[in-house]
């Protein structure tokens, strides 16, 4: 969903996992090589994806529609973002992750403590993929 050169919207579907996978990969490549430029690239991507109103309408990450795997996409994203956040000394994405966890807890949780796909709510249904993403979010925000 983002262009490589400028991290701008490419006007295609901006699936959140497309941001999370390279974030995690850049963190692991940095660990393997010690190349700090990889973290700079990851931060650029993370800054673009966390501030994008296209990915975060109303300030909360959203993946629209799709097949049965779409509810797992946000979990992939927050795992990658959390890995980067833990690696950077200033932990710049902590408030972003906590805001999402707080919102999901308040607006997207059933009385049985299960979660749906839209973390901004309202809760409608849950399944394993939705639970996995919510668990990834809660772990990332702690």
Residue 120 confidence (pLDDT): 94
Work out the angle at residue 107's Cα, subtended by the Cα atoms of residues 61 and 67, and round it to the nearest 5 degrees.
Answer: 50
User: Quick one: what percent of the chain has pLDDT higher than 90?
Assistant: 73
pLDDT digits (tens, 9 = 90+) for 94-114: 999 999 999 999 999 999 999
- In 3D space, the residue among 12, 121, 25, 139 whose CA is nearest the CA of residue 78 turns out to be 139
1-10, 64-73, 90-99, 126-135: least confidently modelled range: 1-10
Task: Write down the pTM of the prediction.
Answer: 0.90
Residue 1 reports pLDDT greater than 70: no
pLDDT greater than 70 at residue 127: yes
Q: Is 34 left (phi over 0), alpha (psi -120 to 50) or beta?
A: left
The reply to whether omega before 23 is within 30° of 0 (cis) is no
* Residue reference for tokens 């994203």: 77
């Amino acid at each position: 969903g983002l262009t490589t050169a400028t991290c701008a919207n490419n006007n295609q579907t901006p699936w959140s996992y497309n941001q999370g996978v390279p974030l995690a990969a850049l963190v692991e490549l940095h660990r393997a090589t010690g190349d700090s430029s990889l973290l700079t690239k990851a931060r650029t991507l993370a800054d673009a994806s966390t501030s994008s109103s296209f990915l975060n309408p109303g300030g909360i990450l959203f993946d629209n529609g799709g097949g049965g795997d779409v509810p797992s996409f946000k979990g992939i994203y927050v795992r990658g973002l959390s890995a980067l956040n833990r690696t950077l000394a200033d932990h710049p994405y902590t408030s972003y992750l906590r805001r999402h966890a707080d919102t999901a807890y308040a607006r997207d949780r059933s009385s049985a403590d299960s979660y749906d796909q839209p973390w901004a709510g309202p809760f409608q249904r849950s399944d394993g993929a939705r639970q996995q993403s919510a668990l990834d979010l809660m772990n990332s925000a702690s």
